[in-house]
């Protein structure tokens, strides 16, 4: 006589596969990991543009210092705003492919819209240079002419944040001695205060010019 086999319903269900709740939990975990992964990738990309932008400003500041010391008899350019910086292109310090130094990777600015279509050709028509062809603001030599000998305290360039922030929260700027620095509006006491008073800065970034809420950017001009 055959022995009677007792079946365990619970074990049978376990062999049948995952329950609906288990599947939903797995899907939720995968979605969370995907979200975190995308966020990390975006943050890494943003950090990369900030670093490249600071390198651009460093190069411009270093070349401006060389221009001041060796080519212009100890004088800074008399032009203001973007033309202050583009003097480097005018005297062929930054031309051709090297003129891409004037473009922040966090923007969609281009500088190859001139007759030749070559990089930097948008700067050839000096009288009609468009601020959309350069991503940085230069010193306002009319409103705030450079004075003093402490080059480490003289700001000569910064992200222009024109129309939109060059970077999500960071504004880079350069000093006359060739050094650079950054202001993170989301990660400083002053930045928190500025955001509480001007919540729109979360999207627009810090404006540059005489009306900027950040004093060190008031000595610059975008146009």
| % of the chain exceeding 70 in pLDDT | 87
pTM over 0.95: no
Beta bridge partners of 137: 158
Residue 118 forms part of a structural domain: yes
Report d(CA 39, CA 4) in Å as an integer.
Answer: 58
Residue 136 forms part of a structural domain: yes
Report d(CA 107, CA 55) in Å as an integer.
Answer: 15
Q: Which two tokens stand for residue 14?
A: 């376990």
Sign of CA dihedral 37, 43, 48, 51: negative
Residue 14 forms part of a structural domain: no
Residue 36 forms part of a structural domain: no
| Maximum distance among all Cα pairs of the chain, rounded to whole angstroms | 114
At 43, the pLDDT band (50, 70, 90 cuts) reads low
At 39 the pLDDT is 59
Asked whether 136 and 122 are in contact (CB, 8 A), the reply is: no
Please, what is the Cα angle at 61 between 59 and 66, to 5 degrees?
95
DSSP string, 27-60: HHHHHHHHHHHHHHHHHHHHHHHHHHHHHHHHHH
Residue 26 forms part of a structural domain: no
At 65 the pLDDT is 95
Residue 38 forms part of a structural domain: no
Asked whether 79 and 141 are in contact (CB, 8 A), the reply is: yes
Q: How many CA atoms lie within 13 A of 176 on its CB side?
A: 23
Report d(CA 175, CA 62) in Å as an integer.
Answer: 9
Asked whether 191 and 176 are in contact (CB, 8 A), the reply is: no
Residue 28 forms part of a structural domain: no
Domain that holds residue 215: 54-221
Q: Indicate the number of domains in the chain.
A: 1
Report d(CA 18, CA 1) in Å as an integer.
Answer: 37
Tens-place pLDDT, residues 185-217: 888 888 888 888 888 888 888 999 999 999 999
Residue 166 forms part of a structural domain: yes
């Amino acid at each position: 006589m055959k022995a009677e086999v007792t079946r365990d319903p619970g074990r049978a269900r376990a062999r049948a596969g995952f329950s609906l709740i288990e599947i939903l939990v797995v899907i939720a975990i995968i979605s969370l990991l995907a979200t975190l992964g995308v966020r990390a990738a975006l943050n890494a990309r943003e950090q990369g543009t900030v670093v490249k932008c600071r390198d651009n400003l460093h190069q411009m500041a270093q070349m401006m210092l060389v221009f001041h010391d060796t080519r212009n008899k100890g004088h800074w350019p008399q032009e203001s705003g973007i033309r202050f910086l583009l003097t480097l292109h005018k005297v062929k310090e930054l031309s051709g492919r090297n003129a891409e130094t004037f473009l922040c990777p966090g923007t969609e600015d281009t500088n190859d819209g001139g007759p030749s279509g070559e990089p930097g050709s948008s700067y050839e028509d000096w009288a009609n240079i468009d601020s959309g062809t350069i991503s940085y603001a230069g010193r306002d030599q009319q409103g705030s002419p450079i004075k003093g000998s402490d080059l480490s305290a003289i700001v000569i360039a910064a992200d222009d944040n024109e129309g939109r922030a060059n970077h999500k929260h960071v504004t880079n700027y350069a000093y006359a001695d060739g050094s650079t620095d950054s202001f993170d509006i989301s990660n400083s006491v002053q930045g928190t205060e500025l955001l509480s008073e001007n919540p729109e800065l979360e999207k627009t970034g810090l404006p540059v010019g005489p009306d900027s809420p950040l004093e060190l950017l008031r000595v610059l001009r975008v146009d």
